[in-house]
Structure 1
Amino acid sequence: MQSRRILFILFLIYFVFAILLNSVGTVILQVINNYGVTKSAASVLEGFKDLPIAVVSFLVASFLPRIGYKKAMLTGLAIVTCACLAMPLVPGFATAKLLFLCVGVSFALIKVSVYSTLGLVATSRRHHAGIMNTLEGFFMLGVLCAYWVFSWFIDSSDPRSHSWLNVYWQLAALCAVTFVLLSMTTFDERLAALPAERTPAQDFAAMLKLFFKPLVCIFVITAFLYVLIEQSVGTWLPTFNNEILKLPAAMSVQVTSIFAACLALGRLSAGIVLRRLHWYPVMNACLVGMGAVVLLALPLTHDAVANPHVTWASAPVAAFLFPLIGLFMAPIYPGINSVMLSSLPQHQHSAMTGLLVIFSALGGTTGSLITGYIFGAFSGHFAFYLTLVPIAIVLVMLYFFRRAVEGEDGLGGAGPVIIGGSH
């Protein structure tokens, strides 16, 4: 296979979907301003994105190798291209729901295919960990770009302006270009082939049985809680900046890019760090750092005063301090994913990624809905303070995850494997 070309295409696909998936916080802010939607109602956009990811992953992940990873990715790109075109052509809250529904369905196909294809390209566990962190780093670069790209089209002087919808013409073009590049790339998916004698029903049953392995069960719960934290912060930080820190709408989105930049920097550098240090103490230090940022930054957000002439130089300190939580958060998700996938034979990567995507999607929806409800019913301060609870639980879950990976046969006999080898 043309490994470098394939990796470039995978990184580009992930970059595109990072922009679409993580625009939900910005879109929530805009539909509240444009369409008079309540915070509680606007928070369902996260559900329209995440629940289809969970459902589609549950239904197709186990036998996606039979369909073909390349075909699945092409299908996903075609769907989101059409959805992006619909946003400026038929503006409305219903169209926003449809957009994120399409993004969710497509990303289910994309993520399972991309993660599984990494196993075909990687030559060792360390190589797998490196490209996994690089992939997630590119994802966060896409998130970072999303905040700035959307902010360029937002008219802060007129909150009801629909000018922000013009960004979707550019996104549709980017999706179309990625589709063309992918269609021109050759994939060799023979290593991921499922046993020919097995039926799709047996493939599905095998995925369900995988969940009940102790290591896998601990892993998906940890992933669920991590994504709950990340989505709670990422989705509601623009609104927090706008309503609590009193920043203009466009600047609220731009400042949130610091959070994405920290995630990108953390993930791109995590590959280097994790090659030299054991993953478990690194993860623990990151979780402690996350808690420290919450406790240091949030007290500084009280009593903010609106300033129509605010600039980056005069913005509250908390606007720059709280997003630093992303730097500590960054290595956790790709780190545990790589540990888990590199413990499985290649033909199980699709099913395992399916379980990961399902619980990640459920975690994202749960986090956004809970934070949105608490934000509206109580305060943004209280909503973000509550992130300390799942942070503490993840700290405990990582202890059991390490024991299952290193001390117990949590996979029921699936010993060490070489990623990319034949099985």
Structure 2
Amino acid sequence: MKNIGIKISLFLIYFVFAALLNSVGILVERSQEVYDVLKEDAAILEPFKDLSIALVSFIIGSFLPKIGYKKGMLISLAAVFLGCIGMYFGNSFWAVKILFATVGMSFAVVKVAVYALIGFVTDSKKSHSRFMSLVETVFMLGIIFMYVVFPLFFDEHDENAWLRGYLLMAFIIAVSFIIILFSKFDIEVKQSGKSLKEDINTMFKLFLNPVIWTFAIFAFFYVMTEQGIMTWLPTFNKETLNLVPKLATQMAVILMISYTVGRFITGMIVKYVKWIYIAVTGLILAAILVLIVLPMAQNVGEIEVNKFADLPLVSFLFPMIGLFLAPLYPLVNSSVLSAVEKEQHSPLAGLIVFFSAIGGTSGSLIIGYMFDRFGGDKVFYLSLIPMAIILISLFRLNSLSKNNANEVSITHSGHH
């Protein structure tokens, strides 16, 4: 099989980055449990990851052509390897912050390089599409691994046992590094021909288009809602529902799986139903779920839950919100992309990264700051505020891009 080494390496890289990027919720819970960090301080982990991705995404166009994909990938993998080793030996809240900063910065480089390498190792449109979906599946497996397998390292008799998971991550990264190091590929990085200043100017000129600034508002509040829930779900499970830390983390995987199922179902029905109907229905159902399920959290008993059979119903139902929120991002992305000129797609991608990062950071910080003030059983009612703003932006976007509504098709999106 041609380029088998590079293909295996790409799978391993995406697996590790999926696991580490989506582990903020786990590390927020661990930081409180092991390092006695306050919730509002633990909330700072999201900005360390998101703002690092946003920052490097902006400057990547100017420095990646100078060093090339191979060197860029090797530097990124080495940085994350050191981050994982630093986590194991550093064993402190500072080590967690450094880990997320390195993972964020490295992923911004790796994501671009992986997409280029997929083009290099596939020889037809069909094989490209097939390999791409395999890579995305591996990304999902990485997330599930982090929430299901990683907690198996937790040990109530040894509070540092969980750090061994990072030695496993470091080993997988080392294998990827060696494969990439000895693989022969020479792909030229396309120069944009523009300076960083010109790129940023082009990006902000997009705001003259009302579709773009409405979309920016949508992206900000959508990711705020999503990350607020995703980051604080393990803490909610542990503190509000009284699940033991291992079970609290493992139950959060339902949210990740419900997002995947939601996107899959959307992909099937978007051919028959207009995007605005799917998006609005999903959003309203998400709000109804918050209003119906959160009151259940008030009636959970005081006894600590350590067995699957004793889990309260709310621990299954609340993460199902992913099923209803999942369609929004890819549907709106697709609608907006079809409403703007093709040459504007690249600066638009920059805007998506920027507003997603700021939104994710805000959501995590707000929930972290308000968790103890409102109480875990009430704090997620705050998600109804951005949901109301998202609803208005959906109707606005629909009226602005009506001419292009027929062209909309579902595309994989992820602001991972």
Into which bin does the TM-score normalised by the smaller protein fall? 0.7 to 0.9
**Equivalent residues, number:** 403
Q: Where in structure 2 are the equivalents of 1:104-123 lying within 5 Å?
A: 104-111=104-111
Instruction: For residue 161 of structure 1, give the secondary structure of its aligned residue in structure 2.
Output: coil
Are the counterparts in 2 of residues 374 and 382 from structure 1 also a CA contact under 8 Å? no
Partner of 1:399: 395
Is the contact between residue 238 and residue 252 of structure 1 (CA under 8 Å) also seen in structure 2?
A: yes
Deviation of residue 259 (structure 1)? 0.9
Residues of 2 paired with 1:118 and 1:394: CA distance?
34
CA distance in 2, matches of 1:144, 1:217: 34
2:293 maps to: 297
Q: Which of the numbers 384, 387, 390 marks the counterpart of 1:388?
A: 384
C-alpha spacing 1:76/1:389, structure 2 compared with 1 (3 Å): same
Instruction: Give the partner amino acid of 1:53.
Output: I
In the alignment, what sits opposite 2:165?
167
Cα distance change on mapping 1:61 and 1:312 into 2, 3 Å: farther
Q: Does 1:18 align with 2:14?
A: no
- Provide the C-alpha distance between the structure 1 equivalents of 2:71 and 2:336, rounded to a whole number of angstroms: 26
Distance change in 2, residues 1:189/1:295 (3 Å): farther
Letter in 1 for 2:77: L
SS of match in other structure, 2:309 = coil
Distance 1:381 1:187, change over 3 A: farther
Partner Cα separation in structure 1 for residue 211 and residue 174 of structure 2: 40
Equivalences for residues 27-66 of structure 1 within 5 A = 27-61=27-61
* Structure 1 residue ranges without an equivalent (≥5): 410-414
> What residue is the counterpart of 2:175 in the other structure?
177
* Residues 41-79 of structure 1: CA deviation (Å, up to 9, x unaligned): 111111211222222223335775676566544443332
Question: TM-score, normalised on structure 2?
Answer: 0.83
| Corresponding position: 1:239 with 2:235 | yes
Query: Are residues 44 and 33 of structure 1, via their aligned partners in 2, closer, same or farther at CA, if it must alter by over 3 Å?
Result: same
For the pair 1:274 / 2:241, whether they are aligned, the reply is no
Partners in 2 of 1:188 and 1:380 — Cα distance?
50
8 Å Cα contact 1:73-1:113 kept in structure 2 = yes
Q: Is the 8 A contact 2:84 2:170 kept in 1?
A: yes
Q: 3-state SS of the aligned residue for 2:308?
A: coil
- Report the residue type matching 1:164 in the other structure: W
The CA RMSD measured in Å over matched residues stands at: 3.6
Normalising by structure 1, what TM-score? Answer: 0.82
Measured at CA, do residues 67 and 122 of structure 1 come closer, stay the same or move farther in structure 2, by a change above 3 Å?
A: farther
Distance 1:371 1:161 in 2: 26
Structure 1 residues 70, 150: CA separation in 2 closer, same or farther (over 3 Å shift)?
same
How does 1:23-422 map onto structure 2 within 5 Å?
23-61=23-61, 72-111=72-111, 139-155=139-155, 157-158=156-157, 161-180=159-178, 184=183, 186=185, 194-195=192-193, 198-308=194-304, 310-341=306-337, 349-407=345-403
Deviations 1:73-96 (CA, angstroms, capped at 9, x unpaired): 444333212211211122111111
Decide whether aligned partners of structure 1 residues 250 and 50 sit closer, same or farther in structure 2, where only a CA change above 3 A counts. Answer: same
CA displacement at 1:314 relative to structure 2: 1.6
Between the two structures, name the one with larger relative contact order (CA 8 Å, sep ≥ 6): 1
Q: Which stretches in structure 2 are left out of the alignment for 5+ residues?
A: 412-416
Determine the C-alpha separation between the residues in 2 that align with 1:122 and 1:267: 28
Q: Is the 8 A contact 1:207 1:351 kept in 2?
A: yes
Shift of 1:134: 7.8
8 Å contact from structure 1 (residues 223, 356) kept in 2: yes
Letter in 2 for 1:264: T
Relative to structure 1, is the Cα distance of residues 361 and 71 closer, same or farther in structure 2, using a 3 angstrom cutoff?
farther
Q: CA contact under 8 A between 2:244 and 2:305: conserved in structure 1?
A: no
Q: Secondary structure in 2 aligned to 1:146?
A: helix
In the other structure, the counterpart of 1:412 is none
